[in-house]
Amino acid sequence: MQISVKLLATLRRYRPEMPRGKALSLDVPAGTTVDEVVRQLGIPDNVPLVAMVNSGVCKLDYVLVEGDKLALFPPVAGG
């Protein structure tokens, strides 16, 4: 199944070939979770991140479906 993935901010370093602001199209098996995509992209387990699917925050065990748009970015803090 096809999904699209965007890596934002400091997570872009794991796919430097991705054009800025563009999504990567991935072909993944049915039943793939967000966590499995994170690992496939080479992002280490100890890197904190926030995952959003179709503009909604989700957990890493979220099961993706055909056409999902996954965005991954580091947590944001401010004061």
Q: How many CB atoms lie within 10 A of CB 42?
A: 9
Angle at 65 between CA 32 and CA 74, to 5 degrees: 70
Domain count, the chain: 1
Question: Is 78 inside any structural domain?
Answer: no
Q: What pLDDT does residue 76 have? A: 81
Q: Give the span between the Cα atoms of 26 and 15, in whole angstroms.
A: 13
User: What is the average per-residue pLDDT within 15-32?
Assistant: 91
Split at pLDDT 50, 70, 90, the class of 79 is low
- Asked whether residue 79 is assigned to any structural domain, the reply reads no
Task: Assess whether pLDDT exceeds 70 at residue 78.
Answer: no
pTM value is 0.91
Domain of 67, in residue numbers: 2-73
Burial of 48 (0-12, 13-18, 19+ CB in 10 A): exposed
CATH number at residue 35: 3.10.20.30
Q: Tell whether the model's pLDDT for residue 5 goes beyond 80.
A: yes
